[in-house]
Amino acid sequence: MSSKAALKRIQLIPELQKKYNIFTHIENSVAEKVLPDDSNDSNAPLSHLVTGIKDNIVTYDMPTTCGSKILLDYISPFDATCVKLLRDAGALLVGKTNLDEFGMGSAGTHSHFGPVRNPLFPNENVVAGGSSSGSAAAVAAGAVDFALGTDTGGSVRLPAAYTSILGFKPSYGRISRYGVIAYAQSLDTVGILAKDLSLLRKVFRVLDKYDEKDPTSLDNELRAAISNRCIKRNTYKIGIPREFIQGSLTKELAKELTEPLSNFLKKLLQQGHELYPVSIPSTKFALPIYFTISPAEAASNLARYDGIRYGTRSEKNDLEDGTFFSSTRDAFGQVVKDRLVLGNYSLCSETFKDSYIRAQKLRVKIIDEFDSIFRFPNLLTGSEGNAYGLDLILGLTNDGLPQSIDYYNEKKISSPTNEYKNDIFVTPMSLAGLPVISFPLLKGKPLGIQIAGQYGDDSTVLDACSLLV
Ligand code: GLN
């Protein structure tokens, strides 16, 4: 990329912001940081590449709000490791991207800064998918070359599908979580959104590093063991889990899908890949498992926003209704409050065993089922791998087309579970920590296909994607 191309993108930003509400903060000084093309530093791997960072990843020179009123004034004293790596590689950070508050949502409609609008539909108000809605819209609209998002239960892949771009969630632990504000720490994963696969891979190479500051970062020994086992192939054994295709597909999507999907599958067969119908039975519990574990972790993580440790303190008395911090914590939006109630319910002594513990057991069962179908061993669980097993699994990313913001809000209000259903195809890979990429089935259409590999086998997922897109 050249300095001219970078400046051109940066100039577009104010106009695109007005149209799509992409950013929570725009860094106006970024144009001054563009290096001349002949400077030595312009050889850095991401030099002249413009990026936006999801606003739940901390930056020392810009606010980090998580899209929440409670963090409006917050500026971190340090950069997240992933942000530091991007800066060291020469990337230009143009701002922080809008999101569902604390990453809780599937459409980009639950931000204190208002909803993100989908650039695929410039003349309508259509949801961009969530929660990394601003990151996806920034890439789709051409405001940035690539963006960082976080994927706890689909939040990189769903907005990528809705805006017809690529969204990659690496294996859990590959990219450092240090400086990523926790929503549900056993699931939170930094992901990359871009239009171009080779650029996405370049960014991943910069970020895919062990970090001693993150206790869940994959250590160098395991990284080496994984890469020693990786084999590059030209054709793959691909499973299509019936649970990821049938599910609760809307009639509308089923109609849009039939022909392009069968053409896509025919193309795979012509390329020499082997396709197998498979079943991963416990994935049918993925939604209840996810919506038990993630709110429970959130209830614990978000306890720190009390106006003393973190968060803007309310001017009002903080002991209203006999509850500590209730007026300060009233700054949370409704969705966050709902999740905190749900999470605390799962953790309370009467329900703990039947909800939280049960969900954890079922999560292990899902991981075992994935382990049993993949050829590649899972070096975290110690599974040996199945010699006759699959390299990849393939399924849909979205089970419906993006709706208008008004319609979405109306439908959602009738019950929060209407929103949870959007995550039906994306949560299983999150629960198992698998690497997975979503790419458009058809260019410019809001339909995503996702391919996932065994834990740690990120390179097969990316290699295969380059053959399939
Ligand atoms: N839609 C899911 C949720 O609301 C996923 C969010 C995410 O991945 N951050 O929890």
Tens digit of pLDDT for each residue in 173-230?
Answer: 999 999 999 999 999 999 999 999 999 999 999 999 999 999 999 999 999 999 998 8
Determine the pLDDT at residue 319: 78
pLDDT at res. 442? 94
Mean pLDDT of 230-237: 92
430 is catalytic: no
For the cut 90, the answer to whether the pLDDT of residue 417 exceeds it is no
Residue 54: active-site member: yes
Q: Which of 106, 131, 282, 438 is catalytic?
A: 131
CA atoms within 13 A on the CB side of 251: 0
Helix (H, G, I), strand (E, B) or coil at 305: strand
Residues 6+ apart with CB under 8 A from 409: 109
Per-residue pLDDT reduced to its tens digit, 50-106 = 999 999 999 999 999 999 999 998 999 999 999 999 999 999 999 999 999 999 999
Question: Peptide bond before 314: cis, by omega within 30 degrees of 0?
Answer: no
Residue 413 has pLDDT above 70, yes or no: no
Locus of tokens 């500590």: 324
**Structure tokens of 445?**
């259409």
The yes-or-no verdict on residue 440 having pLDDT over 90 is: yes
Please list, in sequence order, all residues whose beta carbon lies within 8 angstroms of the beta carbon of residue 98, skipping any fewer than 6 positions away. Answer: 21, 22, 23, 24, 55, 67, 108, 111, 113, 114, 116, 133, 134, 137
Q: Is the CB–ligand 1 distance for residue 132 below 6 Å?
A: no
Digit-coded pLDDT (tens) for 150-169:
999 999 999 999 999 999 99
Q: What is d(CA 256, CA 262) in angstroms, rounded to the nearest whole number?
A: 11
Does 248 score more than 60 pLDDT? no
Average pLDDT over residues 301-328: 87
Instruction: Determine whether the shortest distance from the Cβ of 105 to ligand 1 is under 6 A.
Output: yes
Amino acid at site 82: C
Q: Is 421 designated active site?
A: no
For residues 101 and 258, which has the higher predicted lDDT (pLDDT)?
A: 101
Of the pLDDT bands very low, low, confident and very high (cuts 50, 70, 90), residue 256 is confident
Residue 152 Cβ < 6 Å to ligand 1: yes
Instruction: Round the average pLDDT of the chain to a whole number and report it.
Output: 94
Choose which residue among 68, 101, 131, 190 to substitute to test ligand 1 binding: the one with the highest number of ligand atoms within 8 A of its C-beta: 131
Say whether pLDDT at 383 is over 70: yes
Evaluate if residue 258 carries a pLDDT over 90: no
CB 364 within 8 A of CB 381: no
Say if ligand 1 is within 6 A of residue 56 CB. no
Determine the average pLDDT of the residues in 345-349: 95
Cα 469 to ligand 1 centroid, rounded to whole Å: 26
Between the CA of 80 and the centroid of ligand 1 the distance, in Å, is: 21
Distance 233 CA to ligand 1 centre (A): 33
The HSE-up count of residue 142 (CA atoms within 13 Å, CB side) is 9
Give CA–CA dist 276/289, Å, rounded. Answer: 27
Region 234-259: what's the mean pLDDT?
82
Q: Is the ipTM of this complex over 0.90?
A: yes
pLDDT of residue 239: 97
Catalytic residue among 68, 132, 133, 155: 155
Average pLDDT over residues 21-45: 90
Is the CB–ligand 1 distance for residue 118 below 6 Å?
A: no
> Residue range 431-444: average pLDDT?
97
User: Where is average pLDDT lowest: 160-164, 319-323, 427-431, 436-440?
Assistant: 319-323
Cβ-based neighbours of 451, under 8 Å, separated by 6 or more: 238, 392, 393, 394, 436, 437, 439, 461, 464, 465, 468
Buried b (16+ CB within 10 A) or exposed e, 418-441: ebbebbbbbbbbbbbbbbbbbbbb
Q: How far apart are CA 346 and CA 290, in angstroms?
A: 12
Cβ 178 vs Cβ 81: under 8 Å: yes
